[in-house]
Amino acid sequence: MPVSINEQTLVFLSCIVAGLIMGVIYDFFGGIRNGLSLGKGIVFILDTVFWILGVIIFFAAIYITCGGCVRWYVFLGMILGLCFYLVTISHIVMPFMIKLVRLICKLLIKIISIFLLPVVKIIEILSKIFAPVTCFVKSALKKHKNFVKKNVEKFRQIVIILKKV
């Protein structure tokens, strides 16, 4: 079944768009990596997620545009789209992505601190209420600690005597 030039051109252009989308995703993950100080394990996980998304985009583009038929210009379109993005638009988008990731991180920290503020206040109030109780418990435990020490020492002496017999 022959494929027309129009269909091939449409497939090629859609693969270029898929390559551009992969470039945006690459910059997003790069913004996470560069915007936050992450360990090697997290960077490995992010890279793995990027490649999984890249493979999904690649196969989705092949399946949607040309019905799953792999042709050389599909690879060429993806690579050209990604390279075009990385050479031109990435220099503008990457600093924006880094700022966006830092802003989202600060926003999440604010939201978490807002939700944890009542818990912290409750703990402070409870610690003030139970401060006299903790002093009482500490002094009581000190008395029992000395009692247990004396009895353990007596038991040890008895065991030593029994070993000799």
d(CA 62, CA 54) in angstroms, rounded, equals 12
**Amino acid of residue 22:** M
pLDDT digits (tens, 9 = 90+) for 59-77: 888 888 777 777 788 888 8
pTM for the structure as a whole:
0.61
Using DSSP, state whether 69 is helix, strand or coil.
Answer: coil
Q: Which residue has the tokens 């818990």?
A: 119
Q: What is the pLDDT of residue 32?
A: 84
Of 98, 103, 106, the closest CA to residue 27 belongs to: 98
Q: What is the pLDDT of residue 165?
A: 64
Please give the average per-residue pLDDT across 107-118, as a whole number: 88
pLDDT digits (tens, 9 = 90+) for 137-150: 777 777 777 777 88
Q: Which residue has the tokens 């030039």?
A: 5
* Cα 22–Cα 23–Cα 29 angle in degrees, nearest 5: 90
When the pLDDT of each residue in the chain is averaged and rounded to a whole number, the result is 83
Model confidence at 52, pLDDT cuts 50, 70, 90, reads very high
Encoded tokens for 87: 């050479």
Q: Is the pLDDT of residue 35 over 80?
A: no
Q: What is the pLDDT of residue 125?
A: 86
Of 72, 90, 83, the closest CA to residue 30 belongs to: 90
Percent of the chain with pLDDT over 70: 98
Percent of the chain with pLDDT over 90: 2
